[in-house]
């Protein structure tokens, strides 16, 4: 594998997960956040997840030690952090913030560096267009929790070149994931299919066809999904579900993607699901 050093920008839920799987595969990772304290929180969650893997006998103590030894953390990335083969951005889902980060990475990273984004909904083509290397900008969309989920959507922007895409596909396989190459259209593939299904479950509830437990029960018993769509909305966060629906609705200009009025109402009420303590279910402590 030609990838030896990676910079991960953002050490939250996804950035720390990406750092974990890369470091476990033997790659040197610098994880940076706004402050070192935030990055430390990310490192704490990596240590916790590694301990879980150790307890379950999935990894040895040596692997845990070697993984942690491959990680260094810090606050805002500086030019010295940018001499890497790939920089992966995993900061908040906000175009303005991402544009600022990509412009800075483009200025500081050497010519060889691939710039990847873990965005779940923003257009890779538009992110690439703010850099002087759009051919080396690509989506590397991991799923949560990163150390458990196999899928990585490798998103090819209009200007991304074949070599860049091939390198990211190879890297994803090297770290034990199942990459799928996808073109840069709203929702990519996973969210385009799954999120409207969840929105439809909300609409079914809104129309009073059945209650939340029954709707989830139908999908669990009839389709063998591991979790019902409304419980899944609560787990992901109703604000995120609404944001993805808005991206699909605006991106395709097709009314079939309109967010359910009940979804909007839930977000207005602050009933975001598990993270706010109340969502379609009210049993989160
Ligand atoms: N949560 C998910 O299930 C999921 C799944 C796939 C993709 N994503 C995408 O991954 C990205 C990150 O999501 P998350 O869930 O990890 O969010 P998060 O809020 O857990 O983490 C974001 C981190 O980025 C940091 N940050 C913000 N601005 C920064 C900057 N300028 N420099 C360095 N660090 C900065 C924040 O302090 C925070 O720690 C988003 O684009 C999101 O859409 C999320």
* pLDDT for the residue numbered 161: 98
Determine contact, residues 184/155, Cβ cutoff 8 Å. yes
Q: What is the mean pLDDT of the chain?
A: 97
**Domain(s) of CATH 1.10.1040.10: residues in the chain:** 191-275
pTM: 0.93
- For residue 122, how far is its CA from the centre of ligand 1 (angstroms)? 13
pLDDT tens digits, one per residue of 17-51: 999 999 999 999 999 999 999 999 999 999 999 99
* pLDDT for the residue numbered 285: 77
With 80 as the cut, is the pLDDT of residue 5 above it? yes
pLDDT tens digits, one per residue of 87-112: 999 999 899 999 999 999 999 999 99
Name the residue of 30, 31, 38, 91 to mutate for ligand 1: max ligand atoms within 8 A of Cβ: 91
Kindly list the catalytic residues.
Answer: 120, 141, 153, 191
Which superfamily does CATH assign the domain made up of 5-183 to? NAD(P)-binding Rossmann-like Domain (3.40.50.720)
* pLDDT for the residue numbered 1: 65
pLDDT tens digits, one per residue of 124-162: 999 999 999 999 999 999 998 999 999 999 999 999 999
* pLDDT for the residue numbered 26: 97
Ligand 1 site residues (CB inside 6 A) read 9-15, 32-34, 38, 90-93, 97, 101, 118-120, 141-144
- For residue 102, how far is its CA from the centre of ligand 1 (angstroms)? 14
Domain 191-275 falls in which CATH fold? 1.10.1040
- For residue 11, how far is its CA from the centre of ligand 1 (angstroms)? 7
pLDDT tens digits, one per residue of 259-280: 999 999 999 999 999 999 999 9
**Domain(s) of CATH 3.40.50.720: residues in the chain:** 5-183
With 70 as the cut, is the pLDDT of residue 120 above it? yes
Name the residue of 9, 14, 93 to mutate for ligand 1: max ligand atoms within 8 A of Cβ: 14
* pLDDT for the residue numbered 16: 98
Both tokens assigned to 116: 């990847």
- For residue 215, how far is its CA from the centre of ligand 1 (angstroms)? 31
pLDDT tens digits, one per residue of 70-90: 999 999 999 999 999 999 999
With 70 as the cut, is the pLDDT of residue 170 above it? yes
Closest by alpha carbon to 34, among 15, 71, 9? Answer: 9
């Amino acid at each position: 594998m030609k990838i030896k050093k990676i910079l991960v920008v953002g050490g939250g839920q996804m950035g720390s997960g990406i750092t974990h799987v890369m470091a476990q595969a033997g790659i040197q990772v610098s994880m940076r956040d706004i402050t070192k304290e935030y990055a430390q929180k990310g490192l704490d969650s990596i240590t916790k997840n590694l301990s879980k893997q150790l307890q379950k006998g999935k990894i040895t103590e040596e692997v845990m030690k070697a993984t942690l030894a491959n990680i260094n953390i810090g606050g805002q990335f500086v030019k010295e952090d940018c001499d890497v083969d790939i920089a992966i951005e995993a900061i908040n889902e906000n175009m303005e913030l991402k544009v600022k980060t990509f412009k800075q990475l483009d200025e500081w990273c050497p010519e060889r560096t691939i710039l990847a984004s873990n965005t779940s909904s923003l257009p890779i083509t538009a992110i690439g267009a703010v850099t002087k290397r759009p051919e080396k900008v690509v989506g590397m969309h991991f799923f949560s929790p990163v150390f458990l989920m196999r899928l990585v959507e490798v998103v090819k922007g209009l200007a991304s070149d074949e070599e860049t895409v091939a390198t990211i596909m190879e890297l994803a396989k090297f770290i034990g994931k199942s990459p799928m190459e996808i073109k840069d259209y709203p929702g990519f593939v996973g969210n385009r299919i799954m999120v409207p299904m969840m929105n439809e479950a909300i609409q079914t509830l809104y129309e009073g066809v059945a209650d939340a437990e029954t709707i989830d029960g139908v999908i669990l018993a009839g389709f063998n999904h591991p979790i019902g769509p409304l419980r899944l909305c609560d787990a992901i966060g109703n604000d995120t579900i609404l944001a993805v629906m808005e991206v699909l609705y605006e991106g395709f200009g097709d009314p079939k993607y309109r967010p359910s009025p009940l979804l909007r109402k839930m977000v207005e009420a602050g009933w975001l699901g598990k993270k706010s303590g109340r969502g379609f279910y009210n049993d989160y402590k």
